Amino acid sequence: MRAHLVYAHPEPKSFCAAMKDTAVTALAEAGHEVTISDLYAERFNPVASGADFVMRRDPRYLSYALEQRRAIEWDTLAPDITREVERVLAADLLFLVFPVFWFSMPAILKGWVDRVFLSGMFYGGRRFYGRGHLVGRRAGIVASMGAREHMFGLKAIHGEIEPMFRHLTRGTLGYVGYNVLEPFWAFHVPYISDEERRRDLDRLRQHLAKLDSLPVLPVPDLSGYDAQCRILFAGDMREP
């Protein structure tokens, strides 16, 4: 099985880098073929623009999603986008490895999604969630943060962590069809001891060793919605 890691941290000696290295080793030892997009090291351009297309459908007005669709048809995507799309499509497993910035992912990773998850290929029309292009594949999050674990929960100061990242787990990965695995979180990383960091890396190894049994986050079942995505009946959520 092929696994692709998209790694987004500017410091090669960071704990996030250690998580990336741990994931590569654990997946390889489990028999997976592993590839990596190191966004900072590769100087990936996160800014979506008209320059992403060698030839434009409409050079006077940029409708980015429509240009993506035409670029697929004409084979006129910028080379760095083509490279990343090929990496993603070659993989059965996708992992995003990043530090949490402002309850979200770093801008360079968000830009990677904007430019790589192509309209007309990864999704389009009613081809999303259980009908998205990447149905049957799995994706996961491996992330570090400064906040403490007890800061997240129903009545905790930051609230529940799952809704906070639903824009990524459901609105991005789930939207294009992935079965999204339960995320791995490393808490309070800048302030804990080296021994505690080693325990977190051990937890990550155990997490990756359980890929086939990890919970999968729910997404809507489109059979419960009409052609305009209006709900037909209650209980629209499923556990894939």
Q: What does the domain layout of the chain look like in residue ranges?
A: 2-238
Q: What is the CATH superfamily name and number for domain 2-238?
A: Flavodoxin domain (3.40.50.360)
Q: What's the pLDDT at 152?
A: 95
pLDDT tens, 171-229? 999 999 999 999 999 999 999 999 999 999 999 999 999 999 999 999 998 989 998 88
Q: What's the pLDDT at 200?
A: 98
What's the whole-number mean pLDDT along residues 149-177? 96
Burial class (CB in 10 A: 0-12, 13-18, 19+), 71: buried
Q: What's the pLDDT at 214?
A: 96
- Percent of the chain surpassing pLDDT 90: 90
What's the whole-number mean pLDDT along residues 160-181? 96
DSSP string, 48-63: --GGGBSS-S-TTS--
Confidence of residue 10 (pLDDT cuts 50, 70, 90): very high
> Given a cut of 70, is residue 240 above it in pLDDT?
no
For 156, the 3-state DSSP assignment is: coil
> Given a cut of 50, is residue 237 above it in pLDDT?
no
For 186, the 3-state DSSP assignment is: strand
Where is pLDDT greater, at 238 or 69? 69
Phi and psi, residue 59, nearest 5°: -70, -10
Q: What's the pLDDT at 236?
A: 44
Confidence of residue 234 (pLDDT cuts 50, 70, 90): low
Amino acid identity, residue 180?
A: V
For all residues of the chain together, what is the average pLDDT? Answer: 95
User: Which residues of the chain form beta strands (DSSP E)?
Assistant: 2-7, 33-38, 93-99, 138-144, 179-180, 184-186, 219-220, 237-238
Q: What's the pLDDT at 233?
A: 73
